[in-house]
Amino acid sequence: MTDTFDHRSLPEDELLAAEYALGVLAGADRAAAEQRIARERTFARLVAEWEERLAPWTAEIVEVAPPPQMWDRIAVALPAQAQGGGLWHSLTFWRGFSFAAGALAAACLTALIYLGSITQQQPLVASIEGGGHRHFVATIDARRGTVAVVPAAFSADPTRVPELWLIPADGKPRPVGLLRADETVTLTLPAEFAAFAKGDAVLAVSLEPPGGSTTGLPTGPVIATGKLTSL
């Protein structure tokens, strides 16, 4: 077999960068390449150049619209931006804000309970889904301020617990409580969040260390979400 290839070669680093960009490395080789990308600018540059060379190949890949609830899942999973600044990121501001908002919400809740008792408000339900499966079904009784959550096809993970979050229109998750994979849990909706439990809000479930998130925001992956709708 004749080979017209002229055997010009490339430096070892450049070949390694190309192999990484192609995706063919595994295990320790892939991990070592990733460490070099993080530490060595020149090597990271070589990888970026190979990514650029191969990128036009992805034009072959057909675009597929993700499911409609995908953005909500992502929004819930976003951590606070570490390098960001300003009022939005000030913990002191949020503490003050949540205190003020809490007082306001408590006042609203009182009004809501009163209104609920006279209008016989309908319960809100959400089918909490992710990865093509329904994980939980939640029913909010705004009149009583409770959330009943029934596990559907949630498989337990011994190291992490499912935690329920309420995300109103502002996109900021509020912790509601921990769920169980094997039985229905009825949680009391914190009074300051009750006003958020309406048709435009989303319920989400994240996986957290035992005892739940200690930061007030999801720390683990958000595995399922569902929009609240009136029955």
Partner 1 sequence: MDLDANRSLIATALGRIPAGDRAALQTVYRLTSAKLFGVCLRILGERGEAEDVLQEVYVTVWRRAADFDASRASPMTWLIAIARNRSIDRLRASRQNRKMDPIDAAAEIADTAGGADSALESAQERARLHGCLDGLASHERAALRGAFFDGNTYEDLAARMDVPLGTMKSWIRRALIKLKACLEQ
Instruction: Give residues in contact with partner 1 (CB under 8 A).
Output: 5, 8-10, 14-15, 18-19, 21-27, 30, 48, 51-67, 70-71, 73-75, 77-86, 88-89, 130-133, 171, 221-223
**What residues contact residue 181 under an 8 Å CB cut-off, 6+ apart?**
151, 154, 155, 156, 162
β pairing state of 133-141 and 146-151: antiparallel
Nearer to partner 1, 17 or 142 (CB): 17
Nearer to partner 1, 56 or 210 (CB): 56
CB of 44: closest distance to partner 1 in angstroms? Answer: 9
CB of 188: closest distance to partner 1 in angstroms? Answer: 29
Assess contact for 165 and 206: CB atoms under 8 A.
yes
Cα distance between residue 177 and residue 162, in whole Å: 9
CB of 36: closest distance to partner 1 in angstroms? Answer: 14
CB of 202: closest distance to partner 1 in angstroms? Answer: 14
Nearer to partner 1, 32 or 48 (CB): 48
